[in-house]
């Protein structure tokens, strides 16, 4: 029986190829958002394009981080490294939660459709930050089980 399973290096090469293709799409998004911004004076359209452009720049950086972690230096995180900044991470996460509460309150009270859309964007972004900080908590819990 022939196995269709790919080796680790083959899976890595495929993942890197997909990430590079994705980076190309993000570069196109950066370029098209800039073109749209140049073409309009409408502040709302410009703001939305700037949000998307900035996200695409960050996505490209994260994709490069993943490529580098697969091809150059694997990512590592030691318990000592995490412990060194854990208190600050918890304090920052509390700030994120405060911003979520503020955004939820403003969104619930707003009657302006533009404000609602932008507050929803801000709320989701703050929730995303809270979620990714929660992932670090999972790393911490996993590390404590290994000790």
- Give residue limits of the domains in the chain: 7-75, 76-147
Whole-number pLDDT of residue 147 = 65
Instruction: Enter the pTM of the model.
Output: 0.86
DSSP 54-92: HHHHHHHHHHHHHHHHHHT------HHHHHHHHHHHHHH
Residue written as token pair 């670090």: 136
Two structure tokens written together for 25: 């799409």
Whole-number pLDDT of residue 5 = 83
Which regions in the chain score pLDDT beneath 70? Answer: 1-4, 147
């Amino acid at each position: 029986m022939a196995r269709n399973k790919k080796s680790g290096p083959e899976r890595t090469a495929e993942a890197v190829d997909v990430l590079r293709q994705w980076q190309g799409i993000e570069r196109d998004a950066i370029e098209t958002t800039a073109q749209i911004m140049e073409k309009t004076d409408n502040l709302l359209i410009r703001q939305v394009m700037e949000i998307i452009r900035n996200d695409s720049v960050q996505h490209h950086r994260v994709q490069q981080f993943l490529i580098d972690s697969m091809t150059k230096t694997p990512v590592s995180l030691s318990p000592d490294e995490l412990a060194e900044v854990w208190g600050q991470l918890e304090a920052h996460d509390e700030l994120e939660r405060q911003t979520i509460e503020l955004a939820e309150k403003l969104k619930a009270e707003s009657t302006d459709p533009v404000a609602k859309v932008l507050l929803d964007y801000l709320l989701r972004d703050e929730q995303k930050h809270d979620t990714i900080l929660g992932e670090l908590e999972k790393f911490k819990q996993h590390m404590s089980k290994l000790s």
